[in-house]
Amino acid sequence: MALMHDHLMQGGQMLLLLLLAPLLTGWVRTLKAQLLRRRGPSLLQPYRDLLKLLRKEVVLADSASWLFRVAPYLIFAAIWVAAALVPTFASSLPFSWSADLIAIVALLGTARFFLALAGLDVGTSFGGIGASREMMIASLAEPAMLMLVFTLSLLAGTTELSAVARFMLTADVGLRVSLALALLALIMVAIAENARIPVDNPATHLELTMVHEAMVLEYSGRHLALIELAASLKLLLYLSLLGCIFVPWGMTTAGEEATAYLLGVAAYLAKLGLGGLLLALFETSIAKMRVFRVDQFLSAALMLGLLGALLLFVSRSL
């Protein structure tokens, strides 16, 4: 009975993520439009876009190999699983033991690897440009991510996310410099990983400035739908990650009442809403940086992560 209940919870969370992801994208877009004094599309527009793409025929380039066709499924699966590993409203789910930060980084790395390969596969110049820029970003974003994982694991004594979240809920965490540095680093990595301004512009039509969009320029139909959904899931993943590590309040722990779960979901939704608002505000107030400034931006994230970890070697109370 308990086992079934747990699996239901886990399945429920996975479905919830899938359903929520386009809504989050729509929420950020609507907020950005309203900050520009535009009316903006409906919150449901991303769902309609996905449905439209799913119904459309797939147009394949003559030069596309099997890899190009398989990649969207692999990317989507990897990111969905990674997103499902992040505790959202409950910190104890059956997959918790596998909800390892390093596993999540690895899954995201896999998705990125296939996306870059797919960008190169069709042989257009834009795919190549996008893939090379993406790899430049990844070469700095991934170490930065790992550095902040080390910082957290030094503090919590584990890389398992639900344990980290439970640790963060305890009173003896307090205010720590290392955590502040890790938070900053994670935000910077999240911006770069999700192709947001100032690193990339998800709304641009200028093919020469694209990173993520350049790699997926050749995709259409259901392939594009999967990639778009994966991108939405990734944004959701990073916001959930920020919520679960740095603002875990409201999250239910094992063996609580049904009302506690409802409260957990409500708290989670509130966190997402706030995260989306902050993202929209930030993106509206800043211009995109030069491509060659991205490495400085991410080097700063890497240094912050490194500094956080080093501080903990100096003193566990920092």
Partner 1 sequence: MHAQSLQAILDAGQPVAAHRPWPRFVVTPDIWNTLIEGLADSAWTLLGLWGELGLVHLAVHEEGSGMLGVASLPCPAGCFPSVGRRHPPAQRLERTIADLVGLQPVDAPDIRPWLDHGRWPVRYPLGAATAPTTTMPPYRFLAVEGESLHQIPVGPVHAGIIEPGHFRFTANGEAVARLEQRLGYVHKGIESLLNGATLERAARLVGRVSGDSTVAYALAFARAAEAATETEVPARAHWLRALMAELERLANHCGDIGAICNDAAFALMLAHCAVLREQILRASAAGFGHRLLMDRVVPGGVAADLSVEGVSVLQSLVAEIRRQFPALVTLYDNTASLQDRTAKTGFVKPTLIRQFGCGGYVGRAGGRAFDARRTLGYPPYDVLKFEIPLRTDSDVNGRVWLRICEVEQSLSLIEQILQKLPSGPVRVALKTPGQPCESLALVEGFRGDILLWLRLNGDGTVARCHPRDPSWFQWPLLEAAIEGNIVADFPLCNKSFNGSYSGHDL
Chain residues binding partner 1 by CB under 8 A are 32, 35-38, 125-126, 128-129, 132, 197-198, 201, 203-209, 217, 284-293
Instruction: Compute the distance between CA of residue 148 and CA of residue 163 in angstroms, rounded to an integer.
Output: 16
Instruction: Give how far the C-alpha of residue 29 lies from the chain's centroid of Cα atoms, to the nearest Å.
Output: 16
Please report how close the Cβ of residue 55 comes to partner 1 at its closest, in angstroms. Answer: 23
Please report how close the Cβ of residue 117 comes to partner 1 at its closest, in angstroms. Answer: 18
Tokens of 316: 């566990």
User: In terms of Cα–Cα distance, which of 132, 265, 245, 228 is closest to 190?
Assistant: 245
Please report how close the Cβ of residue 265 comes to partner 1 at its closest, in angstroms. Answer: 33
Toward partner 1, which CB reaches closer, 41 or 128?
128
Instruction: Compute the distance between CA of residue 297 and CA of residue 294 in angstroms, rounded to an integer.
Output: 5
Toward partner 1, which CB reaches closer, 90 or 231?
231
Please report how close the Cβ of residue 133 comes to partner 1 at its closest, in angstroms. Answer: 8
Query: CB 240: neighbour CB atoms within 10 A?
Result: 25
Please report how close the Cβ of residue 239 comes to partner 1 at its closest, in angstroms. Answer: 21
Toward partner 1, which CB reaches closer, 44 or 286?
286
Whether 146 and 307 have beta carbons less than 8 Å apart is answered as no
Query: CB 290: neighbour CB atoms within 10 A?
Result: 10
Toward partner 1, which CB reaches closer, 142 or 283?
283
Instruction: Identify residue 109 by its one-letter amino acid code.
Output: G
Stretch (H or E) spanning 284: helix 258-284
Toward partner 1, which CB reaches closer, 38 or 56?
38
Whether 177 and 318 have beta carbons less than 8 Å apart is answered as yes
Instruction: Compute the distance between CA of residue 87 and CA of residue 189 in angstroms, rounded to an integer.
Output: 19
Please report how close the Cβ of residue 148 comes to partner 1 at its closest, in angstroms. Answer: 24
Instruction: Identify residue 198 by its one-letter amino acid code.
Output: P
Toward partner 1, which CB reaches closer, 216 or 236?
216
Please report how close the Cβ of residue 36 comes to partner 1 at its closest, in angstroms. Answer: 4
Whether 60 and 72 have beta carbons less than 8 Å apart is answered as no
Per the DSSP assignment, residues forming a β-bridge with 90 are 252
Toward partner 1, which CB reaches closer, 44 or 208?
208
Whether 148 and 308 have beta carbons less than 8 Å apart is answered as yes
Distance set, CA 279 to CA 14, 62, 304 (Å): 24, 39, 20
Toward partner 1, which CB reaches closer, 96 or 201?
201
**DSSP per-residue letters across 130-187:** HHHHHHHHHHHHHHHHHHHHHHHHHHHS--BHHHHHHHHHSTT----HHHHHHHHHHH
Toward partner 1, which CB reaches closer, 171 or 206?
206
Instruction: Compute the distance between CA of residue 176 and CA of residue 147 in angstroms, rounded to an integer.
Output: 16
Please report how close the Cβ of residue 129 comes to partner 1 at its closest, in angstroms. Answer: 7
Please report how close the Cβ of residue 288 comes to partner 1 at its closest, in angstroms. Answer: 4
